């Protein structure tokens, strides 16, 4: 059942990753509704200038950065501008800002494994968790969903695909997809910039080419994940946990226009799809105001301008990362955490021109082969598997995959 506490006048929001693309879009939606949302804490890694400008506009009670040096610098800037914002730093501060009693909702938009602990803290504290960090569910899906259930937290996916699925499912889907007449979930994917590139040419692609997404404006890590389709693989794992969907019930569909963000197929032959322009402010606004709908600033979809919609099955030879993600999901335990860790190291090496694009999947597969996954018993188990996978991946890059 949906709680009706959303009718409060003002929601106090902690934005984890406020200077990233999701964080900036979140603040843009909040800017349009100052009577509904205020910033309690803005948290960023190291983009000090951006964070300071955000503090000047949104006057949060707290700001969090990576380390003490950056904290001192930001605190000085805030004092010079006459801001009362208190500056904190480190993972413990992120956890505190995600679980503080005054916080109503947390936008979890820190990319990668770094977002795991503060997002899990928000779940355990019973917050409204707007989840834009898919790695949380990939690494620790069982732990995270258990925390949501135990605390009574409200979980709202912000990824455009999972947000679309949420909109296309019945409100009582928690009783089980089969009981709701759901046949399968259709997870759409643009195919990224290399959807039609000759396989032989993938050996030579550059970070600049991989980050040139045809439809979405995203950060470098997620752009590379989209190019390799690991992003979609992680979303398959995420969909499994969000909607209690078996792997065989989640079908990836290549849809180059990125207009249908995902769909749900029902036993009676109906397919309910959510459509819209490719702009993350739509799912962000849906999560912020759920179950209401508010203006997001996104232009309405012009079907006459779109004119056509295309759909293709994924090519697993072209996108082996997608197959690896399905395999890790079926294996379960810490295998998805190992997959995610190896991918993060591989993508960073590719962006640093130390690993060929074609070797991203090969490195991940090698790490998965060398490190058999164990049970996901505790957060410690997950973090240990994550650390071991990163170490193994770094060693392999030096010994076997150096460019």
Question: Which domains, ranges and CATH numbers included, belong to the chain?
Answer: 5-157 (3.40.50.720)
The two tokens of residue 371 are 């490190």
Task: Give the lowest-confidence range in 15-24, 35-44, 50-59, 372-381.
Answer: 372-381
- In what order do the strands lie in the sheet containing 105-108? 86-89, 62-65, 37-43, 11-16, 105-108, 128-131, 154-157
Say if residue 8's pLDDT is above 70. no
Residue 217: pLDDT band by 50, 70, 90 thresholds? low
Each residue's pLDDT tens digit, 270-289 = 999 999 999 999 999 999 99
Q: How many CB atoms lie within 10 A of CB 236?
A: 24
Residue 202: pLDDT band by 50, 70, 90 thresholds? confident
The two tokens of residue 295 are 């203006």
Query: What CA–CA distances, in Å, run from 307 to 104, 188, 259, 272?
Result: 42, 18, 11, 20
Task: Give the lowest-confidence range in 23-27, 197-201, 356-360.
Answer: 197-201
Say if residue 82's pLDDT is above 50. yes
Residue 1: pLDDT band by 50, 70, 90 thresholds? very low
Task: Please give the pLDDT value at position 373.
Answer: 82
- Residue 291, preceding bond cis, omega within 30 degrees? yes
Burial class of residue 344 in the structure, from the number of CB atoms within 10 Å of its CB (0-12 exposed, 13-18 middle, 19+ buried)? buried
Q: Whole-prediction pTM value? A: 0.90
Q: How many CB atoms lie within 10 A of CB 183?
A: 17
Say if residue 5's pLDDT is above 50. no
| Mean pLDDT (whole number) for 242-260 | 95
Question: CA–CA separation, 19 vs 10, rounded Å?
Answer: 23
Each residue's pLDDT tens digit, 121-143 = 999 999 999 999 888 999 999 99
Question: CA–CA separation, 56 vs 238, rounded Å?
Answer: 35
Mean pLDDT score across all residues of the chain: 93
* 143-174 CB burial, b ≥16 within 10 A, e <16: bbbebbeeeebbbbbbbbbbbbbbbbbeeebe
Q: Given the structure tokens 């707290």, which residue do they identify?
A: 62
Task: Give the lowest-confidence range in 68-77, 201-210, 344-353.
Answer: 201-210
Spatial contact of 133 and 157, defined as CB atoms under 8 Å apart: no
Question: CA–CA separation, 235 vs 256, rounded Å?
Answer: 17
- DSSP state letter for 215: S
């Amino acid at each position: 059942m949906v709680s009706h506490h959303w009718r409060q006048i003002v929601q106090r929001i902690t934005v984890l990753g406020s200077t990233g693309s999701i964080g900036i879009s979140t603040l843009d939606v909040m800017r349009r509704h100052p009577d509904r949302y205020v910033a309690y804490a803005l948290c960023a890694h190291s983009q000090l200038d951006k964070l300071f400008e955000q503090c000047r506009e949104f006057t949060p009670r707290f700001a969090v950065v990576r380390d003490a040096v950056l904290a001192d610098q930001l605190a000085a800037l805030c004092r010079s501008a006459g801001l009362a914002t208190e500056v904190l730093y480190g993972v413990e501060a992120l956890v505190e800002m995600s679980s503080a009693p005054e916080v109503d909702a947390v936008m979890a938009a820190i990319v990668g494994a770094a977002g795991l602990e503060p997002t899990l803290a928000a779940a355990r504290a019973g917050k409204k968790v707007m989840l834009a960090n898919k790695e949380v569910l990939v690494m620790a899906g069982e732990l995270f969903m258990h925390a949501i259930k135990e605390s009574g937290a409200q979980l709202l996916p912000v990824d455009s695909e999972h947000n679309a699925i949420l909109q296309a499912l019945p409100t009582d889907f928690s009783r089980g997809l089969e009981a709701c007449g759901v046949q399968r979930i259709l997870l759409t994917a643009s195919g990224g910039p290399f959807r039609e590139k000759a396989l032989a040419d993938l050996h030579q692609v550059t970070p600049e080419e991989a980050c040139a997404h045809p439809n979405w404006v995203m950060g470098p890590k997620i752009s590379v994940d989209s190019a390799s389709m690991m992003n979609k693989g992680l979303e398959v794992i995420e969909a499994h946990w969000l909607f209690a969907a078996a792997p065989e019930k989640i079908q990836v569909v290549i849809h180059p226009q990125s207009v249908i963000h995902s769909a749900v197929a029902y036993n009676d032959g109906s397919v309910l799809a959510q459509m819209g322009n490719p702009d993350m402010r739509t799912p962000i606004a849906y999560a912020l105001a759920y179950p209401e709908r508010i203006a997001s600033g996104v232009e309405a979809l012009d079907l006459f301008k779109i004119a056509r919609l295309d759909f293709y099955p994924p090519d697993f030879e072209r996108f082996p990362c997608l197959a690896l993600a399905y395999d890790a999901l079926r294996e379960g335990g810490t295998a998805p955490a190992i997959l995610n860790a190896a991918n993060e190291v591989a993508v960073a090496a590719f962006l640093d021109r130390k690993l060929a694009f074609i070797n991203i999947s090969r490195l991940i597969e090698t790490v998965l082969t060398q490190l058999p996954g164990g049970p996901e018993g505790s957060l410690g188990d997950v973090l240990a598997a994550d650390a071991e996978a990163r170490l193994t991946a770094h060693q392999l890059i030096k010994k076997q995959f150096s460019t």
